[in-house]
Structure 1
Amino acid sequence: MKIVVASANPAKIRAVQQALSQVFTGHTLQCSGQNTPSGVSAQPMNSAETLQGALNRLQAIASDAPGADYYVALEAGLDGDCSFAWVAISHQGRISKTRSASLPLPPAALVAIQQGEELGDIMDRMFAQQNIKQQGGAIAMLTNHILTRSEVYKQAIILAMIPFIKPELF
């Protein structure tokens, strides 16, 4: 089964691989990622913009990499004082989407975001790290590594798969 992720981010690709391995037990999965533009700002500032970024990525990857069984796009953004992601999945022309859990952000991070910085860069600075967004993400840093970005994405990916797991209900 061929799955294409609309991102080159290892944390996102890992989340998709792990989630769909659970959904499709016994199947061999070929999961790859490709850098895909979101068409929205680098740091989406609300749910609507974040969803649009995920849908834009989904549409772009489907035309850039034809022939996959599933296309998956994840877009992280803000909703008020929390960070979250929209997950959009396409299979045979059908789209399913859902949101991840929300992560409350420290006030200093929110101020920096309002000044135009991206969350990953802010977390790198706050925790003296490099490239957090391609590792455990802000989630890992703020939960003392109890949760990671991939784990939270994995849950949302599985939830977005429900219409494909139980198509008779949708």
Structure 2
Amino acid sequence: MAFPKRKNLQEQKRQKLVIVGSKNPIKVKCTESAFQTLFEDYFIIQGLSVDPKVSSQPVGDVETYTGAYNRAFESKKAFPEADYWVGIEGGVDEVGEQLVAFAWIVVMDTNNAIGKAKTSTFFLPDAINKLVKEGLELGEADDKVFNRNNSKHESGAVGILTNGVINRKEYYEQAVMLALIPFLNKHLY
């Protein structure tokens, strides 16, 4: 009795291209992990530098969401051959005298569907609040307060403040998965 030939993994799955509107390795890795976890297809994830058209440190939900949307939209304009485009934008917002940190995620596909989600929020320490309110970007403030270099491409504030228990990749990854809900449930959206 002859067994049918098995196709290699790449032949079994359809190859799809996802463009992330940033070359930040954390944003690219969390997107890759989220897509690979939720879908059966084989994905190639590529980062692309685009202008989010917001301030370097977005403040508030509207500006931060706009940055995420623009990252996805500008990626789609720059590389229309892809299957999905992802925008991830970190921001801060004032709650009384304190600042909270969070990120918005926007995912677009070739059918003009859109998925959106927001990470959980957490309060920033006073030393970081002060520096951000003085005009530093959150990653720069983290580096200054915690004597680090380029933490926004690594653990970020969430990783530093949780002693690495919650790393930035995982923090964003969950929200990317939530933004993919409309693509998993096309009949409902």
Alpha-carbon shift at residue 58 of structure 1 (Å): 1.4
The aligned length equals 169
Distance 2:61 2:92 in 1: 7
Distance 1:5 1:103 in 2: 24
Whether 2:52 is the aligned partner of 1:33: answer: no
Distance 2:106 2:142 in 1: 25
* TM norm structure 1: 0.97
Counterpart of 2:13 in structure 1 is: none
Counterpart of 1:14 in structure 2 is: 29
Whether 2:171 is the aligned partner of 1:152: answer: yes
Whether 2:83 is the aligned partner of 1:83: answer: no
- Which segments of structure 1 move beyond 4 Å, counting only runs of 4 or more? none
Whether 2:168 is the aligned partner of 1:168: answer: no
Whether 2:75 is the aligned partner of 1:56: answer: no
Which string of whole-angstrom CA distances, capped at 9 and with x for unpartnered residues, describes residues 16-61 of structure 1? 0011110113x22110001111101000111111011111111111
Identity rate, percent: 34
Higher relative contact order (CA 8 A, sep 6+): 1
Selected match of 1:125 from 144, 148, 170: 144
Distance 1:82 1:89 in 2: 23
Alpha-carbon shift at residue 98 of structure 1 (Å): 1.0
* TM norm structure 2: 0.87
Distance 1:110 1:36 in 2: 27
Q: Please say which structure displays the higher CA radius of gyration.
A: 2
Whether 2:80 is the aligned partner of 1:66: answer: yes
RMSD over aligned Cα atoms: 0.9
Whether 2:122 is the aligned partner of 1:103: answer: yes
Which string of whole-angstrom CA distances, capped at 9 and with x for unpartnered residues, describes residues 77-133 of structure 1? 012221000000001211111101112100111111111001101111111111100
Q: Secondary structure at the match of 1:168?
A: coil
Whether 2:93 is the aligned partner of 1:93: answer: no
Selected match of 2:132 from 113, 116, 134: 113
